[in-house]
Homo-oligomer: A and B are copies of this chain.
Amino acid sequence: MSIREKLRVSPGQKIHLDDIDPDQVDGIDDKSDAKRDLREEVEKISDLQEALYAESKQALLVVFQALDAGGKDGTIRSVFSGINPQGCHVTSFKAPSTLERSHDFLWRIHQAVPRHGTIGVFNRSQYEDVLIVRVDNLAPKSVWKPRYEQINHFEALLTSARTRVIKFYLHISRDEQKERFQERLDMPEKHWKFSAEDLEKRKQWNDYRKAFEDVLERCSTEEAPWYIIPANRNWVRNLAVARVLRETLEEMDPQYPTLENFDPSSYVID
């Protein structure tokens, strides 16, 4: 079974996050092996991305969502450093601006999707509009409820235009979150990452869990699947994400363009 089959959420599958082990992935057992394997995966991803860029006929959009301290920043740094940034754009979505709030929720998202030839990475995404918005009652249910389907339609539109969409939920335990918050408090160089607001959100742990389960159940499609990544251990998480990415890019099979009727000997450079 490929790692994608192991970690992918099937369309309509019921999800109980408490039943999913956040510690392990079959086949990723040894830390130093995993670090070496990650380097190899990143090199392969880098090569595939160069071909994608040369080809310029399809794109890949990679979405990361997680609870606070789930490791979105760390995953992006570990997996995407080593990729040519000319063909890889990361967009971090924060609370929407006044201008963005005066549009539909997908307006700012649409502007950030990758163009053909490139990989787009979303650190948070359209899914915040059915996560924090739902948990904190930032919009009534009549507004956020239709969004699951609106998101599915939006992602189908991207897919139809040869932008492949894959989505990673980084799955950590409540204890692991506590440890990571405590580390931010204990280490002066990590203080800047700490926010009292994070502790408030931690109190809503169960509400967020439920909101994530609904996202995973309703928005994992054949074309734009969700992957649940066990993320308590960074080296397991990084390698799992890199493998899914590499396999996806291999399936997309980007080709260096060949020019039709191109006769190099007809050109003389003086």
The answer to whether B192 touches A259, judged by C-beta atoms less than 8 angstroms apart, is yes
Known: A54-B192, A257-B192. A264 touches B186 (CB 8 A): yes
Q: Is A150 an interface residue (CB 8 A)?
A: no
The answer to whether A86 touches B90, judged by C-beta atoms less than 8 angstroms apart, is yes
The answer to whether B81 touches A90, judged by C-beta atoms less than 8 angstroms apart, is no
Q: Per-residue 0/1 for A56-88: is the Cβ within 8 Å of any B Cβ (1 yes, 0 no)?
A: 000000000000000001001100111111101
Cβ of A92: which chain B residues have Cβ within 8 Å of it? 86
A179 to B140, CA, bound (A): 64
Q: How far is the CB of A228 from chain B (nearest CB, A)?
A: 22
The answer to whether A192 touches B85, judged by C-beta atoms less than 8 angstroms apart, is no
Q: Is A199 an interface residue (CB 8 A)?
A: yes
Cβ of A192: which chain B residues have Cβ within 8 Å of it? 54, 256-259
Cβ of A10: which chain B residues have Cβ within 8 Å of it? none
A26 to B86, CA, bound (A): 29
A103 to B181, CA, bound (A): 48
Number of residues in A with C-beta < 8 Å to the partner?
40
Q: Per-residue 0/1 for A176-215: is the Cβ within 8 Å of any B Cβ (1 yes, 0 no)?
A: 0010011001101101101010010010000000000000
Cβ of A188: which chain B residues have Cβ within 8 Å of it? 258
Q: How far is the CB of A98 from chain B (nearest CB, A)?
A: 17
Cβ of A202: which chain B residues have Cβ within 8 Å of it? 269
A257 to B189, CA, bound (A): 8
Cβ of A83: which chain B residues have Cβ within 8 Å of it? 81, 85
Cβ-neighbour of A77 out of B84, B123, B256 (below 8 A) = B84
Question: Which A residues between 216 and 270 are near B, CB-CB below 8 angstroms?
Answer: 256-259, 262, 264, 267, 269-270
Q: Is A147 an interface residue (CB 8 A)?
A: no
Cβ of A256: which chain B residues have Cβ within 8 Å of it? 189, 192
A199 to B194, CA, bound (A): 56
Cβ of A159: which chain B residues have Cβ within 8 Å of it? none
A258 to B199, CA, bound (A): 20
A202 to B268, CA, bound (A): 12
5 A-B pairs (CB sep. < 8 Å)? A77-B84, A81-B81, A86-B90, A194-B267, A196-B267
Besides A76-B84, A85-B121, 15 new A-B residue pairs in contact (Cβ under 8 A), listed by A number: A54-B192, A76-B85, A80-B84, A81-B82, A82-B82, A85-B90, A89-B89, A181-B269, A185-B269, A191-B258, A191-B264, A192-B258, A192-B259, A194-B267, A199-B267
